[in-house]
Amino acid sequence: MRAVTYPEYSTDVSTLEVKDLPTPKLGAGSVLIDVRAASVNPVDWKVMAGGLDGMMEAVFPVIPGWDVAGVVSAVGLDTPEYEVGDEVIAYARKDTVHAGTFAEQVAVPAYAVARKSSALSWEQAGGLPLAGGTALRSLDALEVADGQTVLVHAAAGGVGSLAVQIARARGARVIGTASERNHDYLRGLGAEPVTYGDGLADRVRSLTPDGVDAVADFVGGQLETTLAVLRDGGRHTSVVDGDVLKHGGRLIWVRPDGRETARLSELADAGKLTVEVSKTYGLDQVAEAFTASQEGHVRGKVVIVP
């Protein structure tokens, strides 16, 4: 099979290389997936640069990528949940950084796999698991419910746009920060947009003078604003800023969990969740895809199609 690899930790995306590798070995309780789409998340190039070396072992060469949508082509021993031909998605992070999803095939434990929503294209489905799981875990931690007001930082990004939709599906009012060029996009998702930058807290307070019930931070560097607009007893999370822990907040790290991923598919099936695809790239264009993600102005998801 063809796969993207890098030989060592590096910030130089030119070290990414497409190679022919053996078909992944398939263990008990796992499925082999023919990849139809994967997606780039900021964690992918941060891992490549060694940013998680203190948390996770790496076996080089590494195939990057933790998102996958595809078709089951084989099942391991004692894996009754799936059959060959099933269309599935997964947040496929493993304990060791080595055999990721930027490849034609990937083996994934069944516990991390869920069925693909028929409402999503392959490209949309490939962009859903990690970002959607992060959004879902954040909103679960915030206990977002009907009638509450939620502030979403970086609401037009891959995670933020999904968080907006999930919160709206729960009946919450959503205020979302974004650049002005993305305000119409956020309105289309059901959020009330505000421009980030100086004076953000005042702009949020003008929309909700009594403060917000919950804040989900998907960009970092927003703690001062979060605390300024959060009502007494409100809750806040971040996926980036560990300082939230000093102020009663929660730092989110999504886990591979097929049951949570299945909840995302169910929302998509119900017409309450979709995935904005910014651009698709082939395996030989992953370096370009990483660069696009690093620039930080992507709306929605950058998707890899083998």
pLDDT in tens, 52-69: 999 999 999 999 999 999
Phi, psi of 205 (to 5 degrees): -65, -30
Angle (CA) 25-26-31 rounded to 5° is 140
Q: How would residue 296 be classed by pLDDT, with cut points 50, 70 and 90?
A: confident
277-281 and 87-91 strand pairing = unpaired
Q: What is the pTM of this model?
A: 0.96
Q: What is the pLDDT of residues 20-53, one digit of tens each?
A: 999 999 999 999 999 999 999 999 999 999 999 9
Q: How would residue 298 be classed by pLDDT, with cut points 50, 70 and 90?
A: confident
- Evaluate whether 175 touches 154 at the Cβ level (below 8 Å): no
DSSP state of 25: P
96-99 and 57-63 strand pairing = parallel
Phi, psi of 225 (to 5 degrees): -65, -45
DSSP state of 257: -
Nearest-angstrom CA–CA distance, 156 and 141: 21
Sign of the Cα pseudo-torsion (294, 296, 299, 301, in order) = positive
Domains annotated for the chain, with CATH where assigned, are 2-128+275-304 (3.90.180.10), 131-251 (3.40.50.720)
In this predicted structure, the answer to whether residue 210 has a pLDDT above a threshold of 80 is: yes
What does the pLDDT read at residue 300?
86
Nearest-angstrom CA–CA distance, 155 and 174: 9
Q: What is the pLDDT of residues 116-158, one digit of tens each?
A: 999 999 999 999 999 999 999 999 999 999 999 999 999 999 9
DSSP codes of every residue in 190-213: T-EEEE-STTHHHHHHHH-TT-EE
What does the pLDDT read at residue 156?
94
